[in-house]
Amino acid sequence: MVDYFSKAISRMIAELSSLPGIGEKSAQRLAFHILHMPEDRVERLAEAIVEARKNVRYCKTCQTLTDQEICPICSNPKRNHKLIMVVEDSRDLAAYEKTGEYQGVYHVLHGAISPMQGIGPDDIRLKELMTRLSSKEVEEVIVATNSSLEGETTAMYISRLVKPTGIKVSRIASGVPVGGDLEYIDEVTLLRALEGRTEL
């Protein structure tokens, strides 16, 4: 990046633009916004980032990100601990929580199986899931991985792992949209629609 600004500003822009989804223009906007903020607010922002990085860890039960040993969902006795929804990351968990409909608990994988990217079953939190299922308390596992090729691969792998335990395994619904032309729908969705067919 050409140094139009002082070293301190250029460094801040460079650091901000290294974040995912932040281009150079957005980084500049953020940098100048921060520079115009009152100093105490900047200090609070910096402290919040440092504190989160130091104190946030994986929940010992579900593997989501938390600043406690056990996250608020896992430690809530009102949740249905017999029902586990498996998601790819903590953002997916947050999305389901926003609906206010799901009353079970979660398991966060922190990724999906992707042979193309060299991510295998041992690189995501599957061992921790199987340890949880050995408690015999769980009655159903809902696989809520994305409907991408990696998400589908992960879902099938989880199904193969869990079925021998006798625990029910289900998959969130997705399929051919009403009025959708089959030629324009991706292979994964079509495959799911075929596999999820019911007898008429």
Full residue range of the structural domain in which residue 29 is found: 7-55
Residues with Cβ within 8 Å of residue 140, at least 6 apart in sequence: 82, 83, 84, 167, 168, 169, 170
Q: Whole-number mean pLDDT of the chain? A: 84
Least confident window among 37-51, 76-90, 166-180? 166-180
Whether 12 is in a domain gets the answer yes
**CA-only gyration radius of the chain, Å:** 22
Give residue-wise pLDDT tens across range 114-143: 888 899 888 899 999 999 998 778 999 989
Same domain, residue pair 101 and 133 = yes
Identify whether residues 166 and 94 lie together within a single domain: yes
Contact 63, 128 (CB under 8 A): yes
Q: How confident is the model at residue 40 (pLDDT cuts 50, 70, 90)?
A: very high
Q: Does the pLDDT of residue 45 top 50, yes or no? A: yes
With 50 as the cut, is the pLDDT of residue 176 above it?
no
Average pLDDT of the residues in 154-167: 91
Note whether 49 and 86 are same-domain residues.
no
pLDDT of residue 141: 92
In residues, how long is the chain? Answer: 200
Residue 72 CB contacts under 8 Å (≥ 6 apart), including other chains: 66
Q: What is the pLDDT of residue 5?
A: 72
Per-residue pLDDT band at 57 (split at 50, 70, 90)? very high
Domain count for the chain, please give it.
2
Place of tokens 């998601």: 87
Q: How far apart are CA 69 and CA 164, in angstroms?
A: 31
The CATH number that applies at residue 92 is 3.40.1360.10
Judged against a pLDDT cut of 90, whether residue 37 lies above it is answered with yes
Cβ of 91: how many Cβ atoms within 10 Å? 10
In degrees rounded to 5, what are phi and psi of residue 184?
A: -95, 0
